[in-house]
């Protein structure tokens, strides 16, 4: 039950997270392109999923690595080109742009005021960010599968460390784009109803044709890069964790290949329906919502992993694990809703994932018993 529960949590988390990411690009495409042709939102979603599905259906992981490399190239290029076009429009060189960002409120990193009620307090952001990263990246089959494609553990470790350095650098440029967009909007008196529309509004309506093309390529690449690998990860996880493909002698048989294809189609359909649900109920910025959902869905996974890592001499009460992993997010939802009353005005943000994981960990610890083995087989 523990194994199946962890796998189920991953599937739910990845479906919701991937749907949010694809939803972000679809609402932009819908508002700025497809609405003018009177194409329904559902058709736009279907077109995007069909494009992704077309090259992940048979290609699998090897295809994903190739397409992800191309998509990453488009994404990174769009970041640098966006900075160039915005600076050009603001009549700034790169050094003047850096100085402008430095002198603006958007360069502030450390927020120490009002620990209880502010979501921006550095302690909350720092701790929440660490554990969100551990859960969403470190425990994610989607990210693991790329390291598993390396020839040996040395190459996988090298891949992880090199990507960490690159991600830090690229994130700085992403943040710079965000700051420059807000500076540009303030200077030109541009207001948007939702922050998700700020970038496309400026890129498509103010900067010209080439920046608009660059934006669309970058946005599409960013979303497709996560959604295509997520589809492959979801299919792989379900086939191995629930259909036990890895325990069968010939997992390339015609019947199993056919089953894998149907699973792939099934998850594509689930993403489609989930995005339609988001479209009918979402009233928050999508990027913010991704991390809010992650604090609920990835928390139990973090607790399960931590217990397995640090409590190797304890045996969980296997049949109780699913209930513990359901109770934990429910308690956290209650805590977040009532925290102002119960905790003297305290407001939770992404650090809620720590409480979520801790509740799961304590639940497993309380219901477990000591065992006489020196190691645990994972």
Comparing CA positions, the residue from 319, 328, 331 lying closest to residue 361 is 328
Question: What per-residue string of b and e applies to 241-253 under the rule 16 or more CB within 10 Å gives b?
Answer: beeebeeeeebee
Highest mean pLDDT among 59-68, 77-86, 211-220: 77-86
Full-model pTM: 0.81
Residue 143 CA neighbour count, 13 Å, CB half: 15
Give residue 354's pLDDT band: very low, low, confident or very high (50, 70, 90).
Answer: very high
- What pLDDT was estimated at residue 212? 81
**117-129 pLDDT tens trace:** 888 899 999 999 8
Q: Looking at residue 287, what is its pLDDT?
A: 62
Over 60: is that where the pLDDT of 307 sits? yes
- The tens digit of pLDDT for each residue in 17-58 reads 888 888 888 888 888 888 889 999 999 999 888 888 776 666
CA distance 356 to 358: 5
The two structure tokens encoding residue 318: 């296997």
In this structure, which long-range contacts are made by residues 106-113, counting pairs with CB atoms below 8 Å and at least 24 apart in sequence? 106/178, 106/179, 106/182, 106/183, 107/179
pLDDT band at residue 89 under the 50/70/90 scheme: very high
- DSSP secondary structure string, 160-215? HHHHHHHHHHHHHHHHHHHHHHHHHHHHTT---SSGGGHHHHHHHHTS-HHHHHHH
Confidence of residue 83 (pLDDT cuts 50, 70, 90): very high
pLDDT digits (tens, 9 = 90+) for 70-81: 777 877 888 898
What is the rounded average pLDDT of the residues 299-305? 91
> According to the model, what pLDDT value does residue 40 have?
94
CA–CA dist 141, 152 (Å, integer): 18
Confidence band for 376, pLDDT divided at 50, 70 and 90: very low
Contact (CB, 8 A) for 318 and 1? yes
Banded pLDDT at 90 (limits 50, 70, 90): very high
Distance (Å, whole) CA 242 – CA 279:
30
What's the CA gap between 153 and 176, in Å, rounded?
35
What share of the chain in percent tops pLDDT 70? Answer: 88
98 pLDDT more than 90: yes
Strand spans (E) along the chain? 314-315, 369-370
- The Cβ of residue 24 has, within 10 Å, a number of other Cβ atoms equal to 21
How far is it, in rounded angstroms, from Cα 197 to Cα 176? Answer: 17
What is the C-alpha separation between 10 and 18, in angstroms, rounded?
A: 12
**Going from the N-terminus, what domains does the chain have, and what CATH number goes with each?**
2-370 (1.20.1730.10)
Tell me: the pLDDT tens digits for 324-348? 999 999 999 999 989 988 888 899 9
Residue 104 buriedness (CB in 10 A; 0-12 / 13-18 / 19+): middle
Q: According to the model, what pLDDT value does residue 248 have?
A: 59
What is the tens place of the pLDDT at every residue in 224-281?
Answer: 767 777 788 888 889 888 888 877 565 567 888 888 889 989 999 999 999 998 888 7
What whole-number distance in Å separates Cα of residue 190 and Cα of residue 202?
8
> What letter does residue 132 receive in the DSSP assignment?
H
Would you state the pLDDT for residue 378?
Answer: 46
Residue 138: is its pLDDT beyond 80? no
């Amino acid at each position: 039950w523990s194994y199946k529960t962890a796998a189920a949590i991953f599937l739910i988390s990845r479906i919701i997270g991937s749907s949010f990411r694809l939803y972000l690009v679809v609402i932009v495409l819908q508002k700025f392109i497809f609405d003018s042709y009177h194409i329904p939102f559902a058709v736009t979603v279907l077109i995007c999923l069909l494009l992704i599905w077309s090259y992940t259906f048979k290609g699998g992981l090897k295809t994903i690595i190739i397409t992800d490399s191309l998509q990453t190239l488009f994404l990174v290029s769009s970041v640098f080109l966006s900075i160039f076009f915005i600076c050009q429009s603001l009549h700034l060189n790169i050094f003047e742009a850096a100085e402008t960002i430095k002198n603006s409120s958007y360069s502030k990193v450390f927020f120490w005021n009002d620990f209880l009620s502010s979501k921006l307090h550095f302690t909350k952001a720092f701790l929440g960010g660490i554990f969100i990263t551990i859960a969403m990246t470190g425990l994610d089959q989607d990210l693991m599968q790329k390291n598993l494609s390396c020839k040996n553990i040395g190459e996988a470790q090298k891949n992880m460390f090199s990507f960490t350095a690159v991600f830090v650098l690229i994130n700085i440029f992403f943040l710079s784009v965000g700051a420059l967009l807000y500076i540009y909007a303030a200077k030109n008196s541009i207001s948007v109803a939702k922050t998700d529309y700020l970038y496309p509004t400026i890129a498509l309506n103010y900067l010209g044709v080439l920046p608009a093309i660059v934006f669309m390529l970058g946005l599409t690449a960013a979303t497709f890069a996560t959604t295509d690998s997520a589809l492959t990860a979801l299919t792989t996880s379900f086939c191995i964790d629930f259909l036990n493909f890895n325990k069968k002698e010939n997992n390339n048989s015609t019947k199993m290949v056919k089953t894998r294809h149907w699973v792939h189609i099934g998850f594509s359909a689930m993403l489609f329906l989930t995005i339609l649900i988001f479209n009918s109920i979402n009233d928050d910025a999508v990027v913010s919502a991704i991390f809010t959902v992650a604090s609920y869905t990835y928390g139990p996974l973090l607790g399960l992993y931590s217990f397995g890592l640090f409590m190797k001499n304890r045996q969980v009460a296997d049949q109780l694990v699913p209930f513990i992993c359901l109770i934990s997010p429910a308690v956290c939802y209650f805590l977040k809703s009532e925290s102002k009353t119960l905790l003297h005005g305290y407001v939770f943000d992404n650090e809620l994932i720590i409480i979520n994981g801790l509740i799961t960990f304590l639940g497993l610890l309380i219901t477990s018993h000591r065992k006489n083995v020196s190691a645990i087989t994972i």
